[in-house]
Amino acid sequence: MSEIRFPLPDVGEGLTEAEIVQWRVAPGDRIALDQVFVEIETAKSLVELPSAFEGVVSELLVDEGNTVNVGTPILVIQTDAPGPGSASPAPGATPAESAPAPSTAPAAPAVPAPPSGTVASHAPTASEGGGAVLVGHGSSGPAPTRRKRHPSPGGAHENFATVPATAAPTAPPASAAAAAAGTPAARPSAPAARLDTGVPVIAKPPIRKLAKDLGVDLSRVVPTGPIGDITRDDVIRDASQVSVFRNIQTPEWPEGREDRIPVKGVRKAIANAMVHSAFTAPHVSVFVDVDATRTMEYLKRLKASPDYAGLRISPLLIMAKAMIWAVRRNPSVNAQWTDEEIVVKHYVNLGVAAATPRGLIVPNIKEAQAMTMVELAASLEQLTLTAREGKTQPAEMQGGTITITNIGVFGMDTGTPILNPGEVAIVALGTIKQKPWVVDGEVRPRFVTTIGASFDHRVVDGDVASRFLADVASIIEEPALLLE
């Protein structure tokens, strides 16, 4: 037996520290190659770390909730004695250095699973690496699952956590009970089957968090995922809610007089970015009320079009297209300020502020100016779902050129948004609702919204800001202008 102390790797550009959110293993558990063993939180993302070694977990060196620096050992693994012709990784080796070793060992694909079926593993392909991957963005090969079941044929899929973290120390008994109660290689196809057999539900950690926030009992949710897993839509459908961010109930007053929340992770990153932006860039804001009736009519036609089947169509799509069109007419709003020069960018990496259960993040759609309406709709939907499920990668939040924040989804009319650091313009879309509006000298009910925007006054003068926002408003009033 040889002992390996697994250090916290750098899973993003310039990562210096991360918080241990949830251990997926416990001392005494057997860990397989590429098995996800811990979930960490960086400044902006939840990340699942896969193991580059096979063996038995002997010690967890960091408690959940603690923040550690990159390079700090977090886990001790006792590896099996190396067989003839195989190489054992050095105790001080990093995951990247020692990951290839298991793939060259003859016995790597045939590591016997314990009788209780503690883990399911697969042999990594040459293209798979042992480095950290983001939630839901693992290597291209088959990903291991944590569901205790007999091997069954199936294609590659994302990593799915099938038991809550609190059940990890008792995984072998739970697995044995599940195997004894269910049929071989059985997958739950209905809630009743899970309730009768005791087989755990299949749901990723963000889905479990969503279900907890909405008060949904996952054992009673009918799964529609590709491997019998519960999806976000399944949970929302069961809860009859349109958003995880809507208040579900009014709780009782806590017994304690105050809570103290450590400033770390996403909240620390948000605070630093907002302070830097607010006190370095002189903000100026402008607003305009817009008759969005034709936009709402246009959206109805898009929803009925076969080209948009299966896509989520909302006013944000027209707003995004309007901003791209207005940037082309007013390029100086799509720029960056440095002390030496103003860099005007002739491409649009459109940032979309996304409120998630973990805090505000701003991923962006790369090269949005080159996308068709259908492509932009698909990108917006994917960006939103990825952000709310906590799977946004650090690279997806870098390189933005201009940002939109949709405060209308919260019922807000308007606001004064703070610039995303490194950008000189941000646009806020307010709620769209019917109001009395004068049309041809008569007061009629129309769908009206308020658009607000903030600019870096070092780069954008008042006339440019006004023209840009007027251009955005003109598209919301008449989407047909996009055809020019």
457 carries an active-site annotation: yes
CB 171 within 8 A of CB 148: yes
- DSSP percent split of the chain into helix, strand, coil, nearest 5: 30, 20, 45
Of the candidates 38, 37, 21, 49, the residue with the CA atom closest to the CA atom of residue 264 = 21
CB 70 within 8 A of CB 18: yes
Q: Give the SS3 label for residue 135.
A: coil
CB 352 within 8 A of CB 383: yes
Q: Give the SS3 label for residue 368.
A: helix
| Element of type H or E holding 476 | helix 462-477
Pairing assessment for the beta strands 350-352 and 402-406 based on DSSP bridges:
parallel
Distance CA 109, CA 106 (A): 7
Of the candidates 236, 201, 50, the residue with the CA atom closest to the CA atom of residue 139 = 50
Q: Which residues contact 397 (CB under 8 A, 6 or more apart)?
A: 44, 361, 362, 363, 364
Dihedral angle sign, alpha carbons of residues 437, 439, 444, 448: negative
**Encoding tokens for residue 318?**
């027209």
Catalytic residue among 137, 157, 283, 457: 457
Known catalytic residues are 457
